[in-house]
């Protein structure tokens, strides 16, 4: 190794070369099972090296004493000058001294860590991998190679270490072909989200002694948590930000927890800021509120496994629980994450030093518009917008994420809007704000990530957002502009009556006891078609009354079904139910039923009179079926009409293309 190698890419590549040793016993998507815990272990080893002797001496002095394990851990952590320690006499250099028993020594070394680190390696399930590496006879080689990688903080600062993790995790995600954002969000996207999150809080964060809390309930490997703290250190050094995270992926959780331990981050208490568990069914932060929330939940992830518990909370607790507003379809739980985060909003009570909350979350396009009026998705949007919490939505460029090229959107949701933003929502189109290449450092594509946000792009988006002005890229709407009433438009049922021998046989097969009545009806009305069912049935009722017959409702219904057909030229059928609440006297035809979405800003009756009746004069509204829905049709608001090219221009291009093809063919045949 050269004397000075500060570039994080160098170390990431060096570690990646070690991963090649795993080829055979492991498939490339499985490399992370070894490489992430080994990288963490080597980093811990380097961080603790300067105080190793002091920790061993203190441990020896305290062994057999009256301190319990927790108290001893705290004491030895202080001796190590970290939030963790290792009291094993082993380190990476000494592990190389006994190749034949390196598996036992490595397990013993890990057990020498404080409880918080042992828990991390339990979640890595690393003892299983140690045994697998031993059986493949490559454990000693892997440990030896890592021993040669100097990850001491003097050589690799915390920020560089974070970039190494980011690089490795991105590569592992690509190999595993995971859903975009499942563990990893591009750093520049996080910077933008954090900038938007803190945009209005300069005065609050500049107050000496300010302490704020931030939660990421789908934290993955902790990138958002780290970037939020970086932002505050750069812009508001006097403020303290305690960050918290939860994730249900064991290795992602273990990586985030170890990253938090290694970095110089603010911790509130014992350092259990990152917790393991499913945020939907095992909320590890239940009852807590936060000033800020960040998340990039997996796109399009289903919640079938959690369905029973989520539905139980929705039905039993309603708005007193987390999911009272509604449940989205089971194949996309994105809006469940949003409701979960909103449930952790702090109330706005300035006299109690409670200043409300702000959240930023990354979504695909689906939560904007999926689900019509009355659906779970629409009801959730309605709840958020009617409460005036949705402050803005920013459309990001496509091809921004490592494992998908789809369009993505940042939602900013808050219960403490600025006065000028109240009752309004901003849509910001940043789809043209990008630079080619996967990152600032690498201009080549990184998986599906072919674009990135440069520093100027981020600054421009934040400025457009902060100005809150109408422009080509920024549109401002009243909240009601995203709502609509779904009205039911009915048209009358029109039936033509006619008795035929075949239909007569079919009816009597079902109701043979009505033979005499049917014969009487046949004789009275005859076999000619009648285009007015009301009139035909009135005659039939007279015949039956004269015979003293009373048919059951089911028999009447069957008779009409058998002996009538729909005919647009027939007269409308009147409603026979005196309890009907429909104002129109005619029975509606379900096959002709239609629906119209009328903006909340328009009068429904006026819209119906001007837009529907001129085209369908026999229609009427059934207002008892009205439903209010909300959707955010982003593309409609930013649609740009492009005039088609003149036909002569297109013909000329085609002719040139044909001539070029003929020229190439001649070259081949000559």
**Tell me: the pLDDT tens digits for 47-82?**
999 999 999 999 999 887 778 888 998 999 999 998
For 385, 465, 482, the CA distances from 425, given in Å and listed in that order, are 9, 11, 9
State the pLDDT at residue 269.
Answer: 45
CATH, residue 102: 1.20.1260
Domain boundary among 566, 601, 618: 566
Q: Which residues lie below 8 Å from residue 288, measured CB to CB, with a gap of 6+?
A: 215, 344
State the pLDDT at residue 64.
Answer: 77
Flag whether pLDDT at 104 surpasses 50.
yes
pLDDT tens-digit profile of 324-376? 999 999 999 999 999 999 999 999 998 888 889 999 999 999 999 999 999 99
- Domains contained in the chain, number: 2
State the pLDDT at residue 402.
Answer: 66
Domain boundary among 144, 177, 210: 177
* CA distance linking residue 396 with residue 363, whole number of Å: 10
Q: Which residues lie below 8 Å from residue 180, measured CB to CB, with a gap of 6+?
A: 298, 299, 401, 402, 403, 404, 406, 408, 448
669 found inside a domain? no
Q: Is 264 exposed, middle or buried (0-12, 13-18, 19+ CB in 10 A)?
A: exposed
Residue 395 parent element (H or E): strand 390-395
Residue 59 parent element (H or E): helix 52-62
**Secondary structure of 607-651 in the HEC alphabet?**
HHHHHHCCCCCCCEECHHHCEEEECCCHHHHCCCCCCCCCHHHHH
Domain boundary among 177, 199, 228: 177
Residues in the chain: 670
- Number of neighbouring beta carbons within 10 Å of residue 530: 21
Of 123-137, 399-413, 568-582, 600-614, which range is least confident? 568-582
Query: How many helices (H) and strands (E) would you count in the chain?
Result: 26, 19
* CA distance linking residue 95 with residue 599, whole number of Å: 71
* CA distance linking residue 384 with residue 409, whole number of Å: 17
State the pLDDT at residue 135.
Answer: 93
Residue 18 parent element (H or E): helix 8-19
Domain with 551 in it: 495-566
Query: Mean of the per-residue pLDDT values for the chain?
Result: 88
pLDDT tens-digit profile of 437-446? 766 665 666 6
State the pLDDT at residue 668.
Answer: 75
294 found inside a domain? no
532 found inside a domain? yes
State the pLDDT at residue 580.
Answer: 54
Comparing CA positions, the residue from 18, 24, 25 lying closest to residue 145 is: 18
- Both tokens of residue 632? 């955010």
Flag whether pLDDT at 172 surpasses 80.
no
Widest Cα–Cα separation across the chain: 114
DSSP strands (E only) in 454-588: 474-478, 483-490, 495-497, 564-566
407 found inside a domain? no
395 found inside a domain? no
pLDDT tens-digit profile of 646-667? 888 888 888 898 888 888 888 7
State the pLDDT at residue 438.
Answer: 60
100 found inside a domain? yes
Confidence band, pLDDT 50/70/90 cuts, at residue 268: very low
Comparing CA positions, the residue from 78, 107, 86 lying closest to residue 95 is: 107
State the pLDDT at residue 132.
Answer: 94
Phi, psi for 502 (deg, rounded to 5): -65, -45
**More reliable by pLDDT, 599 or 636:** 599
349 found inside a domain? no
88 found inside a domain? yes
**More reliable by pLDDT, 349 or 14:** 349
Q: Output b/e per residue, 7-42; b: 16+ Cβ within 10 A.
A: ebeebbebbeebbebbeeebeeebbbbbbbbbbbbb
**Mean per-residue pLDDT, 165-170:** 72
């Amino acid at each position: 190794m050269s004397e000075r190698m500060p570039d994080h890419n160098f170390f990431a590549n060096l570690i990646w070369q070690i991963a090649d040793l795993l080829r055979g016993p492991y498939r490339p998507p499985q490399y992370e099972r070894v490489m992430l815990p080994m990288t963490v272990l080597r980093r811990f080893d380097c961080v603790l090296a300067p105080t190793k002797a002091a920790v061993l001496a203190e441990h020896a002095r305290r062994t057999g004493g009256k301190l319990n394990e927790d108290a001893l851990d705290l004491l030895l952590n202080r001796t190590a000058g970290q939030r963790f320690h290792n009291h094993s006499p082993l380190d990476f250099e000494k592990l190389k001294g006994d190749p034949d028993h390196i598996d036992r020594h490595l397990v013993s070394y890990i057990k020498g860590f404080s409880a918080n680190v042992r828990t991390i390696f339990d979640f890595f399930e690393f003892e299983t991998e140690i045994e697998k590496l031993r059986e493949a006879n490559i454990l000693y080689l892997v440990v030896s190679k890592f021993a040669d990688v100097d990850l001491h903080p003097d050589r690799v600062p915390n920020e560089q270490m974070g970039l190494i993790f980011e690089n490795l995790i991105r590569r592992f995600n690509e190999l595993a072909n995971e859903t975009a954002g499942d563990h990893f969000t591009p750093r520049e996207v996080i910077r933008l989200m954090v900038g938007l999150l803190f945009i209005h809080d300069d005065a609050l964060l500049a107050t000496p002694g300010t302490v704020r809390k931030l939660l990421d309930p789908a934290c993955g490997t902790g990138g958002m948590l780290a970037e939020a703290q970086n932002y505050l250190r750069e812009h508001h050094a006097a403020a303290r930000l305690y960050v918290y995270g939860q994730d249900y992926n064991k290795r992602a959780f273990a990586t985030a927890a170890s990253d938090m331990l290694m970095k110089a981050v603010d911790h509130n208490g014992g350092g259990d800021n990152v917790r393991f568990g499913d945020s939907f069914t095992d909320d590890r932060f239940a009852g807590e509120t936060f000033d800020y929330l960040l998340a990039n939940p997996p796109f399009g992830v289903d919640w079938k496994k959690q369905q029973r518990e989520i539905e139980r909370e929705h039905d039993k607790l309603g708005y007193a629980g987390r999911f009272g507003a509604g449940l989205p379809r089971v194949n996309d739980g994105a809006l469940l994450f949003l409701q979960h985060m909103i449930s952790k909003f702090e109330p706005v009570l300035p006299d109690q030093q409670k200043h409300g909350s702000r959240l930023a979350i990354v979504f695909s396009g689906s939560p904007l518009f999926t689900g019509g009026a009355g659906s779970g998705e629409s009801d959730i949007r309605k709840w958020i917008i009617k409460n005036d919490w949705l402050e803005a939505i920013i459309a990001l460029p496509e091809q921004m994420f490592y494992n998908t090229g789809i369009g993505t959107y940042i939602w900013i949701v808050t219960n403490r809007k600025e006065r000028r933003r109240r009752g309004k929502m901003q849509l910001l189109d940043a789809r043209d704000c990008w630079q080619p290449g996967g990152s600032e450092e690498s201009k080549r594509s990184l998986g599906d990530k072919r674009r990135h946000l440069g520093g100027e792009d981020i600054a421009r988006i934040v400025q457009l957002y902060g100005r809150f002005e109408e422009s080509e890229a920024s549109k401002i709407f009243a909240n009601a502009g995203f709502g609509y009433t779904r009205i039911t438009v009915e048209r009358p049922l029109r039936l033509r009556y006619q008795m035929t021998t075949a239909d007569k046989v079919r009816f009597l097969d079902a109701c043979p006891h009505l033979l005499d009545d049917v014969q009487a009806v046949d004789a009275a009305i005859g076999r000619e078609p009648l285009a007015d069912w009301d009139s035909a049935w009135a005659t039939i009722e007279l015949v039956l009354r004269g015979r003293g017959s009373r048919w059951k409702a089911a028999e009447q219904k069957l008779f009409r079904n058998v002996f009538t057909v729909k005919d647009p030229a027939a007269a409308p059928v009147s409603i026979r139910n005196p309890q009907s609440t429909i104002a129109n006297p005619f029975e509606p035809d379900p096959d002709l039923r239609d629906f119209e979405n009328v903006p909340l800003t328009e009068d429904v009756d006026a819209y119906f009179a001007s837009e529907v009746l001129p085209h369908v004069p026999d229609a009427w509204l059934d207002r008892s079926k009205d439903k209010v829905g909300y959707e955010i049709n982003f593309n409609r608001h930013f649609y740009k009409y492009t005039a088609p090219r003149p036909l002569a221009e297109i013909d000329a291009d085609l002719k040139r293309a044909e001539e070029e093809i003929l020229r190439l063919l001649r070259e081949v045949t000559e």
